[in-house]
Amino acid sequence: MLIVFFLPHLLYFSSYWSKILKMKKDNKPDNTAFTQQRLPAWQPVLSVGIVLPLFFIIGLAFIGIGIGLLITSNNIQEFEEEYTGIGDNSNCYICANNATANCKCTLNFTIAQPIQGSVFMYYGLTNYYQNHQKYLSSRDDQQLAGETYYLKNPSQSCKPYQMDINNNPIAPCGSIANSFFNDAFALYYNNQGFLDEVKLDGSAIAWWTDHNVKFSNPSQTGSNLSQIFEGTVKPINWSKPVYNLDVNNPDNNGFINEDFLVWMRTAALPDFRKLYRRISGNYSSFMPSGNYTLEITYNYPVKDLPGKKKVIFSTVSWMGGKNQFLGIAYLVFGSLCFVMGFILLIVYAKYQNVEDNDD
């Protein structure tokens, strides 16, 4: 930045010096291609003749890509169930209105077509502004990176969740952490009357770099996590302390709990989904058609926002999840290029002669 501002001055002085040096010689300007503005140059002209084939090529290529994308997108199977609990007849109505902790409700759904391939399970929220400026900045990356000083002295930006009423530091501090999504799901396959649990795998749902580099627990030799976090308090809305998030897997606790990492990667738009689990075990590569039961531990309040909660099951291809937009956009734009090409061709053919007559 500085260089840019000082560049004119530098040049001025350099020219000044060159003037002094040139005093001895005559002051005839240098005859270089640059100073005489005669550098060899390629001088392309955007004429119809060049652009026309370009349009057709782009059109063809884009239509091709578009078709490929659409087919891929259509092969992706996606299944979405809302469980907000609005409306008397919905299963989670009671849980949504009774604010008791760990209220359970179940959701039954049918998968008509068997799903081939690995299936990912997402939870989705709507009308939830994770991208609100105040919310987004209410975190302390240094605390989350495991720096011991910041563990006890969280950043001001975490306010109002920096310290609790007793002036104890909150770990992890800030609004984002405090509003950590705390619904839990269990999935069962209705196999001729009895319920077979579908195993859910919660590993590698967050970015590898988040898990291994950006976030880490404060380290202290010879002490376990709960000792390290001594002196801090859990975020106000949390039921469990951060070192006890995953009771089944002790390595998945603290700041590097994967569910927590997923939540901390704030969504771009107010309607978003986040990866919850991958289906593993017997059903990891094939989910048969039939009835399923989703058991929901309902904790997360969205009714007042007013927002919706949903779970999504989706397969994934090389291009990610289901996304019709990209394919359609490519198709539409490719065709547009083609149409434009034809229009240009007509213009070209019609007015070519006029120009020739001019000459």
Partner 1 sequence: MNAFLVVYLCILISKALVNTVLKYVWQSNPNRDEPWYNQKTESERQRNTFLKAFTDFLAFMVLFNYIIPVSMYVTVEMQKFLGSYFITWDEEMFDDELGEGALVNTSDLNEELGQVEYVFTDKTGTLTENNMQFIECCIDGHVYVPHAICNGQIMPGTTGIDMIDSSPVEEGMESEELFFRALCLCHTVQVKEEETIDGIKKGLQQCSKSSSSSVYISSSPDEVALVEGMKRLGFTYLRLKDSYMEIQNREDSIERFELMEVLSFDSVRRRMSVIVRSHTGDYYLFCKGADSSIFPRVIKGKVEQVRARVEHNAVEGLRTLCVAYKMLKKDEYESVCRQLNSAKLALHDREKKLAEAYDEIEQDLILLGATAVEDRLQEKAADTIESLHKAGMKVWVLTGDKMETAAATCYASRLFHRNTQILELTTKRTEEQSLHDVLFELSRTVHQHSGSLSRDSISGLSQDMQDYGLIIDGATLSSVMKPTEDGSSGNYKEIFLEICRNCSAVLCCRMAPLQKAQIVKLIKASKEHPITLAIGDGANDVSMILEAHVGIGIMGKEGRQAARNSDYAIPKFKHLKKMLLVHGHYYYIRIAELVQYFFYKNVCFIFPQFLYQFFCGFSQQPLYDTAYLTLYNISFTSLPILLYSLIEQHVGMDILKKDPYLYMDISKNCLLRWRTFIYWTFLGVFDALVFFFGAYFLFDNTTLTSNGQMFGNWTFGTLVFTVLVFTVTLKLALDTHYWTWINHFVIWGSLLFYVVFSLLWGGIIWPFLNYQRMYYVFMQMLSSGPAWLGIILLITVSLLPDVVKKVICRQLWPTTAEKIQTKRQCLTVEQSTIFMLSQTSSSISF
Range 284-323, binding partner 1 (CB under 8 A): 301, 304-306, 314, 316-323
Count Cβ neighbours within 10 Å for each residue of 129-144 and write b for 16 or more, e otherwise: bbeeeebeebbbeebb
| 349 belongs to the binding site for partner 1 (CB under 8 A) | no
| 20 belongs to the binding site for partner 1 (CB under 8 A) | no
Question: Token pair of 199, please?
Answer: 């195993």
The minimum distance between CB 214 and partner 1, in angstroms, equals: 5
Task: Please choose, out of 43-51, 92-100, 193-201, 244-252, the segment that lies near partner 1 by the rule CB under 8 A.
Answer: 43-51
| 25 belongs to the binding site for partner 1 (CB under 8 A) | no
Q: Are 73 and 319 in contact (CB under 8 A)?
A: yes
The minimum distance between CB 291 and partner 1, in angstroms, equals: 25
Q: Is the peptide bond prior to 8 cis by the omega test (within 30 degrees of 0)?
A: no
Question: Token pair of 318, please?
Answer: 């090389």
| 325 belongs to the binding site for partner 1 (CB under 8 A) | yes
| Overall size of the chain counted in residues | 359
| 35 belongs to the binding site for partner 1 (CB under 8 A) | yes
Count of residues near partner 1 by CB under 8 A = 105
The minimum distance between CB 75 and partner 1, in angstroms, equals: 14
Task: Please choose, out of 41-49, 164-172, 227-235, 284-292, the segment that lies near partner 1 by the rule CB under 8 A.
Answer: 41-49
Count Cβ neighbours within 10 Å for each residue of 234-268 and write b for 16 or more, e otherwise: bbeebeebbbbbbeeeeebbbbbbbbbbbbbeebe
The minimum distance between CB 85 and partner 1, in angstroms, equals: 17
182-211 footprint of partner 1 as x/- string (CB under 8 A): ----------------------xxxx-xx-
User: Residue holding tokens 């390629």?
Assistant: 42
**Pick from 20, 24, 29, 193: which binds partner 1 (CB under 8 A)?**
29
| 70 belongs to the binding site for partner 1 (CB under 8 A) | no
What is the C-alpha R_g of the chain?
A: 31
Could you give the angle at the alpha carbon of 300 between the alpha carbons of 296 and 304, nearest 5°?
A: 125
According to CB under 8 A, which residues from 225 to 254 bind partner 1? none
Could you give the angle at the alpha carbon of 336 between the alpha carbons of 333 and 339, nearest 5°?
A: 160
Nearer to partner 1, 190 or 348 (CB): 348
